[in-house]
């Protein structure tokens, strides 16, 4: 079923909307949650919560891209749950990805230099826009979808060391780009 039709079902308050969402994007949402939570059960619950959020958001919202709309909800919910679980355990893969990314954030402590959300959004997307398609996919998969290096190597047809080096170069460029924009995250 087309995304537009699924959104129409939500607007019509049809229960089929959930079933169609589950069929089309269940695996996608589960993938995102699983990467963050590393627990099948937690990820499943997170995906269920995603459907509720989507149900409550539509109407009034009419997302232009249903896939990323659901993905963003799942990621947000998974991170919230991750916060809750943090006291008990840490997700190594996610930690590793974040540790990598934090290296490229300029070391600024001045509160005045903290940026507005819109400026940051523009800077990130400008950086991504200037990458090659392959590199951009690599970067977003690593730091948005939180894929492991091994998964990236397999899915992108690269060696693990090649993935690491490419990511390192991109992080350096990202750091440079943010510094040029005068941004401290």
Partner 1 sequence: MDDKKEKRLLEAMQLVDEAYIEEASPVKPEKSKKEKPARKSGRSIWIRYGVIAACICCVILGAVWLFVPLKTKKTDVSKYSEGEYYEIIEKLAEYYAVEPRYDNRWEQFTEGVGNLFFGDLQEGTMDASPGDGGNMSGMPGDGAGESYQEITDNQVDGIIEGDLMKRSDKYIYYLYDKTLMVYSIAGEKSELIAEYEIDTKGMGKAYVGTWEIFLSQDCDTITVIAPYYDGKTSAQVAVISLNVENPRSITEEERVVVSGSYLSSRLVDGEILLMTGYRIFDVDYDKEETFLPQIDYGDGAQSIAAEDIICPEELSDVYYTVVMKVEEKTLKACGSKAFLSYSEDVYVSEDAVYAMRNFTMYQDKEQRYSGCAMTEIASITYDGATLENGGMILLEGRIKDRYSMDEYNGILRVVTTTERWNGKKYDCLGKKWVDCASTGTNASLFCVDTETWEVVAAVEDFAPEGETVESVRFDGESGYVCTAEVISFTDPVFFFNLSDLNNITYKDTGTIEGYSTSLVDMGDGYLLGIGVGDSSDTVKMEVYIESETGVDPLCSYEVENASYSTNYKSYYIDRENRLIGLGVQRYNEEKGCYVMLLFDGYELQELLCMPLAGQPENQRAVCIDGYAYMFGHREFVVQQVFGE
Q: How many residues bind partner 1 (CB under 8 A)?
A: 68
Answer whether 166's CB lies under 8 Å from 88's CB. Answer: no
Binding of partner 1 at residue 162 (CB under 8 A)?
no
Binding of partner 1 at residue 1 (CB under 8 A)?
yes
In angstroms, what is the minimal distance from the CB of 55 to partner 1?
5
In angstroms, what is the minimal distance from the CB of 71 to partner 1?
6
Q: Which of residues 77-106 bind partner 1 (CB under 8 A)?
A: 79-80, 83-84, 86, 95, 98-99, 101-102, 105
Cα 157 to Cα 73: distance, rounded to the nearest angstrom: 29
Give the DSSP letter string of the chain.
Answer: --HHHHHHHHHTT-THHHHHHHHHHHHHHHHHHHHHH--HHHHHHHHHHHHHHHHHHTTT---S-HHHHHHHHHHHHHHHHHHHHHTT---HHHHHHHHHHHHTS-----GGGBPPHHHHHHHHHHHHHHS-HHHHHHHHHHHTS---HHHHHHHHT--HHHHHHHHHHHHHHHHHHHHHTT-B-
In angstroms, what is the minimal distance from the CB of 159 to partner 1?
18
In angstroms, what is the minimal distance from the CB of 45 to partner 1?
7
Among 38, 108, 151, 181, binds partner 1 (CB under 8 A): 151
Binding of partner 1 at residue 65 (CB under 8 A)?
yes
Cα 13 to Cα 23: distance, rounded to the nearest angstrom: 18
Of residues 24 and 173, the one with the C-beta less far from partner 1? 24
Residues that bind partner 1 (CB under 8 A): 1, 11-16, 18-19, 22-28, 31, 44-45, 47-48, 51-52, 55-56, 59-60, 62, 64-65, 67-69, 71-72, 75-76, 79-80, 83-84, 86, 95, 98-99, 101-102, 105, 117, 120-121, 124-125, 128-129, 133, 136-137, 139-141, 143-145, 147, 151, 155, 185
């Amino acid at each position: 079923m087309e995304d537009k039709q699924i959104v129409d079902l939500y607007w019509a308050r049809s229960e089929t909307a959930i079933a169609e969402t589950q069929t089309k994007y269940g695996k996608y949402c589960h993938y995102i949650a699983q990467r963050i939570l590393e627990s099948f059960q937690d990820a499943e619950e997170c995906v269920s919560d995603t459907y509720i959020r989507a149900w409550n958001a539509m109407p009034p919202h009419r997302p232009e891209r249903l896939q990323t709309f659901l993905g963003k909800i799942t990621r947000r919910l998974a991170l919230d749950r991750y916060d809750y679980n943090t006291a008990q355990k840490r997700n190594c893969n996610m930690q590793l990805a974040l540790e990598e990314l934090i290296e490229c954030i300029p070391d600024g402590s001045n509160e005045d230099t903290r940026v507005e959300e819109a400026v940051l959004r523009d800077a990130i997307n400008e950086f991504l826009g200037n990458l090659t398609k392959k590199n951009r996919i690599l970067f977003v998969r690593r730091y948005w979808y939180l894929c492991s290096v091994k998964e990236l190597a397999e899915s992108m047809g690269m060696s693990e060391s090649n993935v690491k080096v490419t990511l390192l170069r991109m992080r350096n460029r990202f750091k440079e780009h943010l510094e040029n924009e005068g941004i401290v995250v």
